[in-house]
Amino acid sequence: MFMSHLAYLYLYRSVFAIHQLALESLSTTYQSFPHLSTSITLFQFGFCVLLPLTISTCTDGDAIKSFPRSFKQIWIYIKLSAIVYGATACATMSLGYDGVTYVTKVVFKSAKLIPTMVVGVILDRRANRVGKKYTAYEYASAVLLCIGAIGFCISPTDLKDNDNSQENTEDATEDVTLGSHWIGISLLATSVVCDALVPNIQQQLMKGTTVRRVRPQSLPSTKDSDVDDSDEEIEKEMKNLIDTDDLHAANQKQKETKSDGISSQALLVNTNSIGFTLLVLSTIVGRSFLSIFSYLVIHPHFLILHVSVGMGLGTAVLAYTELIRRSGPAVAVAVATLRKVVTILLSYIIFPKPMTGLHAISAGLVVLGLGLSYYGRDRK
């Protein structure tokens, strides 16, 4: 079980790196193409639907069987798609307000592991489900990991730029409103809450839900014209005494009924089909679909890079979703946070740059957080 979790972890990291390289190559080589961002988004959504659908079909999975066929079923995935969109849109919109810088965004985004843990506990309690309970060691480990990730993601140049921007705005404090600053912070907080909701809702859909309900059972009544009222009452009392244990056990079984969840492939197909359909319709209405298609046919290298971007993201998202199903939202978000740290460390190794005291302290906090997590797990 542990080796399978590691396999999905390494798969997520490796294919995401391929996705980033192909995306960077597209952005630099074909930046003059007017519909580049639309074509990239189209392939990303497309492969997040086609790849899990192909895997599910080849392995006799449930992607087609569990595809929503009523508006009530579709509405669940519309809400999930809206939350995913809100996480990205709110973070982007926050940068347009005074007082919200790139450093502020990094701090909020790098600390989303803690809200993910808290939201998971709240959702489990609201659903009356026995869910994950985190210990003080796990919360402390999450705090250290988040602080370490923040230190790694903030470079010295970002801090200098932030200081310069603050110095430049000190002379214009009369033009900066406090309300505008808090609007940006509120958008960032909303983005982090959405980031915390998404993996927890995905896990609920994949694991299934437990519905608590009690169905009262009535005792069989005796109807005999030859038995008078007093004999009938005695007979009922005897049956109550005899069948008490059986009725209690039956009622306990009926209090909880578990609905089966869906696979990670079916979840991705159901969720991303909505965005992919809307995107295709928007390109057709906007008359950019034919331009993108003709450019892909004329330039094979352009097509190969798009396939690499879509394939890389589709595989990474599938591995990440499977990691949520197997290990839980907190572990998956922690892996995503560590991926940022590992990426920055590799950049310092491959392209040598001076390590600052902030990076050294951040590395120590990450190692301490991981050690505290394993220590708490052993005690548990």
How many whole angstroms separate alpha carbon 286 and alpha carbon 370? 49
pLDDT band, very low/low/confident/very high, at 184 (cuts 50, 70, 90): confident
- What is the pLDDT, as a whole number, of residue 270? 92
**353-377 pLDDT tens trace:** 666 777 778 778 888 887 877 776 6
DSSP-derived secondary structure letter, 95: T
Please check whether residue 88 is in contact with residue 296, taking contact to mean a CB–CB distance below 8 angstroms. Answer: no
Q: Which two tokens stand for residue 60?
A: 């006799």
How many whole angstroms separate alpha carbon 343 and alpha carbon 92? 22
Cα dihedral sign, 92-95-96-100: positive
How many whole angstroms separate alpha carbon 140 and alpha carbon 340? 20
Residue 159 CB neighbour total at 10 angstroms: 13
Residue 254 has pLDDT above 50, yes or no: no
Look at 42-46, 109-113, 169-173, 312-316 and tell me which has the smallest mean pLDDT: 169-173
* Long-range contacts of the stretch 68-73 (C-beta < 8 A, 24+): 68/270
pTM of the complete model: 0.70
The CA dihedral of 11, 12, 14, 15, to the nearest 10 degrees, is 100
Residue 188 has pLDDT above 70, yes or no: yes
Please check whether residue 184 is in contact with residue 98, taking contact to mean a CB–CB distance below 8 angstroms. Answer: yes
Residue 71 has pLDDT above 60, yes or no: yes
- What is the pLDDT, as a whole number, of residue 170? 43
- What is the pLDDT, as a whole number, of residue 107? 77
How many whole angstroms separate alpha carbon 368 and alpha carbon 37? 40
